[in-house]
Structure 1
Amino acid sequence: MNQVRPRMTHLFEQLGLDASEDAIALFIVTHQLNAQTHIVQADYWSEAQRQFLEEKIQSDGEWAIVVDQLNESLHEESVIKNKI
Protein backbone atom coordinates (compact mmCIF):
# COMPACT_ATOMS: atom_id res chain seq x y z
CA MET A 1 0.00 0.00 0.00
CA ASN A 2 1.39 3.40 -1.00
CA GLN A 3 0.43 6.10 1.47
CA VAL A 4 0.84 9.76 0.67
CA ARG A 5 2.42 11.86 3.40
CA PRO A 6 0.08 14.59 4.59
CA ARG A 7 0.79 18.09 3.33
CA MET A 8 -0.76 21.48 3.95
CA THR A 9 -2.94 21.08 0.86
CA HIS A 10 -4.25 17.77 2.22
CA LEU A 11 -4.99 19.40 5.57
CA PHE A 12 -7.00 22.16 3.93
CA GLU A 13 -8.90 19.60 1.85
CA GLN A 14 -9.73 17.63 5.01
CA LEU A 15 -10.94 20.84 6.65
CA GLY A 16 -13.21 21.50 3.67
CA LEU A 17 -11.28 24.62 2.67
CA ASP A 18 -9.85 25.74 -0.66
CA ALA A 19 -6.51 23.95 -0.91
CA SER A 20 -4.93 26.01 -3.67
CA GLU A 21 -1.61 27.64 -2.78
CA ASP A 22 -3.09 31.13 -3.11
CA ALA A 23 -6.07 30.27 -0.91
CA ILE A 24 -3.86 28.74 1.77
CA ALA A 25 -1.61 31.81 1.79
CA LEU A 26 -4.63 34.12 1.99
CA PHE A 27 -6.17 32.07 4.82
CA ILE A 28 -2.95 32.27 6.83
CA VAL A 29 -2.61 36.03 6.34
CA THR A 30 -6.25 36.75 7.19
CA HIS A 31 -6.61 34.37 10.14
CA GLN A 32 -3.65 35.28 12.33
CA LEU A 33 -3.94 34.37 16.02
CA ASN A 34 -2.56 36.11 19.08
CA ALA A 35 0.16 34.35 21.03
CA GLN A 36 -2.24 33.04 23.69
CA THR A 37 -4.68 31.39 21.26
CA HIS A 38 -3.94 27.81 20.30
CA ILE A 39 -5.04 26.73 16.83
CA VAL A 40 -7.98 24.67 18.12
CA GLN A 41 -9.25 27.65 20.13
CA ALA A 42 -9.67 29.88 17.07
CA ASP A 43 -13.26 31.02 16.71
CA TYR A 44 -13.36 30.54 12.95
CA TRP A 45 -13.36 26.73 12.99
CA SER A 46 -16.55 24.74 12.87
CA GLU A 47 -16.93 22.10 15.57
CA ALA A 48 -16.07 19.35 13.06
CA GLN A 49 -12.92 21.20 11.96
CA ARG A 50 -11.90 21.78 15.59
CA GLN A 51 -12.37 18.08 16.41
CA PHE A 52 -10.37 17.05 13.34
CA LEU A 53 -7.49 19.33 14.34
CA GLU A 54 -7.55 18.10 17.95
CA GLU A 55 -7.54 14.46 16.83
CA LYS A 56 -4.60 15.01 14.53
CA ILE A 57 -2.59 16.86 17.18
CA GLN A 58 -3.23 14.09 19.72
CA SER A 59 -2.34 11.38 17.20
CA ASP A 60 1.26 12.64 17.31
CA GLY A 61 1.77 11.29 13.79
CA GLU A 62 2.51 12.89 10.44
CA TRP A 63 -0.78 14.81 10.52
CA ALA A 64 0.25 16.38 13.84
CA ILE A 65 3.33 17.82 12.13
CA VAL A 66 1.23 19.46 9.41
CA VAL A 67 -1.26 20.87 11.95
CA ASP A 68 1.68 22.22 13.95
CA GLN A 69 3.04 23.89 10.81
CA LEU A 70 -0.32 25.56 10.26
CA ASN A 71 -0.40 26.59 13.93
CA GLU A 72 3.02 28.22 13.58
CA SER A 73 1.97 29.99 10.38
CA LEU A 74 -1.17 31.34 12.05
CA HIS A 75 1.01 32.83 14.82
CA GLU A 76 3.63 34.51 12.63
CA GLU A 77 2.39 38.03 13.40
CA SER A 78 2.32 37.44 17.15
CA VAL A 79 5.89 36.11 17.04
CA ILE A 80 7.03 39.23 15.17
CA LYS A 81 5.24 41.51 17.64
CA ASN A 82 6.84 39.74 20.61
CA LYS A 83 10.31 40.26 19.12
CA ILE A 84 9.80 44.02 18.73
Structure 2
Amino acid sequence: MEHSYHRFSELFAQLGLPSDADAIRDFVMQHSPLPQDVRLEDAPFWTPAQATLLREALVEDADWAEVADQLNAALRSPSTAPA
Protein backbone atom coordinates (compact mmCIF):
# COMPACT_ATOMS: atom_id res chain seq x y z
CA MET A 1 0.00 0.00 0.00
CA GLU A 2 1.47 3.33 -1.07
CA HIS A 3 0.99 6.35 1.17
CA SER A 4 0.88 9.91 -0.09
CA TYR A 5 2.78 12.71 1.55
CA HIS A 6 0.52 15.67 2.22
CA ARG A 7 1.79 19.14 2.94
CA PHE A 8 0.58 21.21 5.86
CA SER A 9 -1.03 23.66 3.44
CA GLU A 10 -3.00 20.81 1.82
CA LEU A 11 -4.51 19.87 5.17
CA PHE A 12 -5.61 23.46 5.72
CA ALA A 13 -7.17 23.47 2.25
CA GLN A 14 -8.98 20.22 3.09
CA LEU A 15 -10.28 21.88 6.24
CA GLY A 16 -11.59 24.79 4.18
CA LEU A 17 -9.14 27.21 5.75
CA PRO A 18 -6.77 29.66 4.06
CA SER A 19 -3.68 27.63 3.24
CA ASP A 20 -0.91 30.13 2.56
CA ALA A 21 2.02 30.25 4.97
CA ASP A 22 0.95 33.50 6.65
CA ALA A 23 -2.62 32.30 7.21
CA ILE A 24 -1.39 29.01 8.67
CA ARG A 25 1.00 30.79 11.00
CA ASP A 26 -1.77 33.19 12.09
CA PHE A 27 -4.19 30.32 12.72
CA VAL A 28 -1.68 28.43 14.83
CA MET A 29 -0.78 31.52 16.82
CA GLN A 30 -4.46 32.42 17.36
CA HIS A 31 -5.44 28.95 18.60
CA SER A 32 -2.33 28.04 20.58
CA PRO A 33 -1.56 26.65 22.95
CA LEU A 34 -4.10 23.87 22.79
CA PRO A 35 -4.38 22.35 26.28
CA GLN A 36 -2.82 18.90 26.61
CA ASP A 37 -6.11 17.42 27.84
CA VAL A 38 -7.99 18.49 24.68
CA ARG A 39 -7.77 16.16 21.70
CA LEU A 40 -7.02 17.92 18.43
CA GLU A 41 -10.36 16.99 16.87
CA ASP A 42 -12.23 18.13 20.01
CA ALA A 43 -10.82 21.67 20.02
CA PRO A 44 -13.64 24.22 20.25
CA PHE A 45 -12.59 26.19 17.17
CA TRP A 46 -13.38 23.45 14.61
CA THR A 47 -16.67 23.18 12.79
CA PRO A 48 -18.34 19.75 13.04
CA ALA A 49 -17.14 18.93 9.51
CA GLN A 50 -13.56 19.93 10.31
CA ALA A 51 -13.60 17.88 13.52
CA THR A 52 -14.85 14.85 11.58
CA LEU A 53 -12.15 15.24 8.94
CA LEU A 54 -9.45 15.43 11.62
CA ARG A 55 -10.90 12.49 13.55
CA GLU A 56 -10.92 10.38 10.40
CA ALA A 57 -7.41 11.53 9.46
CA LEU A 58 -6.03 10.55 12.85
CA VAL A 59 -7.88 7.25 13.20
CA GLU A 60 -8.67 5.90 9.75
CA ASP A 61 -6.65 7.66 7.06
CA ALA A 62 -2.95 6.91 7.15
CA ASP A 63 -2.36 9.30 4.25
CA TRP A 64 -3.42 12.30 6.35
CA ALA A 65 -2.31 11.04 9.79
CA GLU A 66 1.23 12.41 9.67
CA VAL A 67 0.23 15.95 8.72
CA ALA A 68 -2.67 15.88 11.23
CA ASP A 69 -0.12 14.91 13.89
CA GLN A 70 2.02 17.86 12.77
CA LEU A 71 -0.95 20.18 13.21
CA ASN A 72 -1.56 18.73 16.66
CA ALA A 73 2.06 19.39 17.64
CA ALA A 74 2.03 22.89 16.14
CA LEU A 75 -1.07 23.89 18.09
CA ARG A 76 0.58 22.79 21.31
CA SER A 77 3.87 24.54 20.49
CA PRO A 78 3.26 27.40 18.01
CA SER A 79 6.89 27.83 17.05
CA THR A 80 6.79 24.47 15.20
CA ALA A 81 4.16 25.29 12.55
CA PRO A 82 5.39 24.11 9.13
CA ALA A 83 3.98 25.64 5.96
TM bucket, shorter chain: 0.7 to 0.9
**Is 1:6 matched with 2:1?**
no
Q: Which runs of 5+ in 1 are unaligned?
A: 78-84
Structure scoring higher RCO (CA < 8 A, sep ≥ 6) equals: 2
Matches within 5 A, 1:28-39: 28-32=28-32, 33-39=34-40
Give the 3-state SS of the residue equivalent to 1:19 in structure 2. Answer: coil
Give the aligned partner of residue 21 of structure 1.
21
Bigger Rg over Cα: 1
Give the TM-score, by structure 2 length: 0.83
Q: Per-residue displacement from partner, 1:36-81 (whole Å, max 9, x unpaired)?
A: 111111001000000000001012513101000000000116xxxx
Unmatched 5+ stretches in structure 2: 79-83
Q: Identity, % of aligned pairs?
A: 37
The aligned counterpart of 1:46 is: 47
Number of matched pairs? 75
Question: How far apart are 1:5 and its partner, in Å?
Answer: 2.2
Q: Distance in 2 between matches of 1:4 and 1:65?
A: 10
* 4+ aligned runs moved over 2 Å, structure 1: none
Q: What's the TM-score once normalised by structure 1's chain length? A: 0.82
RMSD: 1.6
Deviations along 1:5-43, one digit per CA (max 9) or x if unpaired, are: 211000000000000000001100110111111111100
**Distance in 1, Cα, partners of 2:15 & 2:28:** 14
Separation (CA, whole Å) in 1 of partners of 2:54 and 2:12? 11
